[in-house]
Amino acid sequence: MTLGLHPDELALEARAREFANKIVRPRAAAIDRDEQYPWDIVRALADAEFVGMTIPAQYGGQGRSYLDAVLVIEEMAKACTVTGRIIVETNMGAISTVMAYGTETQKRLAADLVLAGDKPAICITEPQAGSDAMAMTTRADKRGDVYVLNGRKHWITGGGVSRLHLIFARVFDERGDDLGIGGFLAVRDEAKGLRVVRREHTMGLRGMPEGELAFENLEVPAAMALVPPSGFRRGFADLMNAYNSQRVGAGTVAMGIAAGALEHALDWVKTREQFGRPIAEFQGLQWMLADMQTQLTASRLMLYAAARSRGPGGSAFPDPMLAAQAKIFASEAAIRIVNDALQLFGARGYSREFPLERMARDVRMFTIGGGTAQVLRTLVAGKMLGLKLPQTRDGYVEAAARPMAAE
Ligand SMILES: Cc1cc2nc3c(=O)[nH]c(=O)nc-3n(C[C@H](O)[C@H](O)[C@H](O)COP(=O)(O)OP(=O)(O)OC[C@H]3O[C@@H](n4cnc5c(N)ncnc54)[C@H](O)[C@@H]3O)c2cc1C
């Protein structure tokens, strides 16, 4: 079933599958067990030109589409979740944001790092500002031709291994006026004042460090402020719009884990015998398999549609509604599919000698990171109702007090 893919897309998918089976799959269990970022895989991905595929050719990339990235992400994630996420973040997220809004210098800096294998970090979440990202307190104070950043972020993917950091901070001008939330580019090791405080101890995705970062008088040259066309004041919306590519990527990693788990389950039910016959002959299990496949196909179609879409006003990024719905659906379906695959393995599903328990731990995160399933539902409902739904207590009180719009 090609689901409307063109021959060159199918060829890319086949190349990614071959790479994943040969290079990535044999390493997946050790990456999880040792909790080490897989630098060997990163080098191989860079050599095979799977990183930076979406970067335009003029900056050294291949100018590939988000759908191309989705096809590669799925194949990698079937074998190893960490590798799937590396493909997301070297083709979507921060690198897409820089390519859309960056200056020439910023684009060249980011492209060179990513094409050499760097997985950029996006730094938004803070201990007191999770879903409520606007509550962030990290600040960037303008002082002459630099911004001085102070604050703390946590759960930053790649903390300690990423070099390029896209840091979100509340911007203040030299008079101390609040200009809104902006993005700043800093390269770890070159920037004094960017410190990795600690690594989170995670349930899954153990080869990908999640770090707590501190910015202590981190000086970012003004030329490294990432200012979307609408300026700082409305720039946060533009920066978050760029995040829609990351959402499609994250949903695809979840879908890829589910696809990998289903492949394992299909092989298993055909060979495992109980009551004198392969367990695949039990209708109860056949219906489980059919439900798993149906949810997987639906997820895949939604992710393809989101990857192919463009947001309002010819945005360079996927449509926010489609991206949110695809991530909600694919991440929740993937948790169910992987859980059912584990069930089909019986006790072996619960063993660390089989990949299902690793997949079950890995897949759990995708309804949380990159916008929780609840907050994304709020985004979808808000757009359906034509309302920017206020989430603060006062916000609801004020909205309730507003007169209803005339029919
Ligand atoms: C593995 C992993 C990687 C991550 N990587 C990054 C990264 O690279 N960069 C980064 O900046 N952040 C990252 N995050 C952070 C992630 O984006 C946040 O965890 C997420 O936005 C939720 O914030 P929180 O954890 O503080 O939960 P909270 O916001 O405290 O939410 C707690 C619960 O309340 C619900 N909730 C909150 N507000 C509402 C509401 N208005 N309506 C309904 N329900 C609500 C949430 O859905 C959730 O179930 C990562 C997280 C994980 C787990």
Name the token pair of 80: 């190893």
- Confidence band, pLDDT 50/70/90 cuts, at residue 399: low
In eight-state DSSP terms, residue 4 is T
- Closest ligand 1 atom, residue 158 Cα: 8
CATH numbers and ranges of domains, the chain: 7-115 (1.10.540.10), 121-230 (2.40.110.10), 234-391 (1.20.140.10)
Q: Quick one: pLDDT at residue 178?
A: 94
Count other C-beta atoms under 10 Å from residue 139's C-beta. 16
The answer to whether 152 and 202 are in contact (CB under 8 A) is no
Say what the pLDDT of residue 404 is.
55
With bands split at pLDDT 50, 70 and 90, how would you rate the model's confidence at 228? confident
The rounded distance, in Å, linking the Cα atoms of 230 and 242 is 13
Question: CA 102 → CA 79, 128, 223, distances in Å?
Answer: 34, 29, 10
pLDDT of residue 235: 82
Q: Which residue carries 């050499």 as its tokens?
A: 116
Above pLDDT 90, what percent of the chain? 87
- Report the alpha-carbon distance of residue 136 to residue 32 in Å, rounded: 32
Instruction: Identify the residue whose tokens are 């008088």.
Output: 217
Check if 361 has its Cβ closer than 6 Å to any atom of ligand 1: no
Query: In the structure, what pLDDT confidence band is assigned to residue 294 with cuts at 50, 70 and 90?
Result: very high
Exposed, middle or buried: residue 397 (CB in 10 Å: 0-12, 13-18, 19+)? Answer: exposed
Q: Which residues pair with 211 in a beta bridge?
A: 156, 199
Which segments of 272-366 does DSSP mark as H helices, in order? Answer: 283-308, 320-344, 356-363
- CB distance 178 to 217 below 8 Å: no
pLDDT (0 to 100) of residue 69: 98
Token pair 């993005």 is found at 183
Does any ligand 1 atom lie closer than 6 A to the CB of residue 122? yes
Residues with Cβ within 8 Å of 182's Cβ and at least 6 positions away in sequence, in order, are 140, 168, 169, 171, 225, 226, 227, 232, 235, 236, 239
The region, left, alpha or beta by phi > 0 then psi within -120 to 50, assigned to residue 75 is: alpha
Distance 124 CA to ligand 1 centre (A): 10
Could you give the CA distance from residue 90 to residue 361 in angstroms, rounded to a whole number? 23
Q: What is the pLDDT of residues 174-198, one digit of tens each?
A: 999 999 999 999 999 888 999 999 9
Instruction: Say how far apart CA 96 and CA 53 lie, in whole Å.
Output: 11
Question: What atom of ligand 1 comes closest to residue 157's alpha carbon?
Answer: 8
Q: Which residues pair with 157 in a beta bridge?
A: 210
Using DSSP bridges, classify how beta strands 164-172 and 121-123 pair: parallel, antiparallel or unpaired.
parallel
Pocket test for ligand 1, best of 123, 240, 372 (most atoms within 8 A of CB): 372
Contact call for residues 347 and 356 (beta carbons, < 8 A):
no
Dist. CA 133 → ligand 1 center (Å): 9
Q: Give burial (CB, 10 Å; 0-12/13-18/19+) of 300.
A: buried
- Assigned token pair, 371: 């916008």
Angle 320-344/373-385 helices, nearest 10 degrees? 140
Q: Is 155 in the pocket of ligand 1 (CB under 6 A)?
A: yes
Average pLDDT, the chain: 95
Residue 27 in contact with residue 38, Cβ under 8 Å?
A: yes
Sign of CA dihedral 365, 308, 237, 166: positive
pTM: 0.96
Query: Does position 406 have pLDDT exceeding 70, yes or no?
Result: no
Neighbours of 271 (CB within 10 A): 9
Higher pLDDT, 92 or 400: 92
Confidence of residue 223 (pLDDT cuts 50, 70, 90): very high
pLDDT tens digit sequence for 37-70: 999 999 999 999 999 999 999 999 999 999 999 9
Tell me, rounded to whole angstroms, the distance of Cα 4 from its chain centroid. Answer: 24
Per-residue confidence band for 242, with pLDDT thresholds at 50, 70 and 90: confident
C-alpha pair distances (Å), 52 with each of 41, 64, 140, 250, 376:
15, 9, 29, 17, 27
Q: Compute the Cα dihedral for 69, 71, 76, 78 and give only its sign.
A: positive
Say yes or no: CB of residue 162 within 6 Å of ligand 1. Answer: no
Q: Cα–Cα distance between 167 and 26 in angstroms, integer?
A: 35
pLDDT bin (cut points 50, 70, 90) of residue 402 is: low
Separation CA 92–CA 250 (nearest Å): 10
Q: What is the pLDDT of residues 256-270, one digit of tens each?
A: 999 999 999 999 999
Ligand 1 pocket, residue 293 CB under 6 Å: no
Please, which residues bridge with residue 213 across strands?
A: 153, 196
Least confident of 101-115, 130-144, 229-243: 229-243
Predicted confidence (pLDDT) at residue 403 exceeds the cutoff of 90: no
Q: Where do we find the tokens 């990171």? A: 369
Percent of the chain with pLDDT over 70: 97
Query: For residue 130, how far is its CA from the centre of ligand 1 (angstroms)?
Result: 5
**pLDDT of the residue at 407:** 36
pLDDT at 236: 85
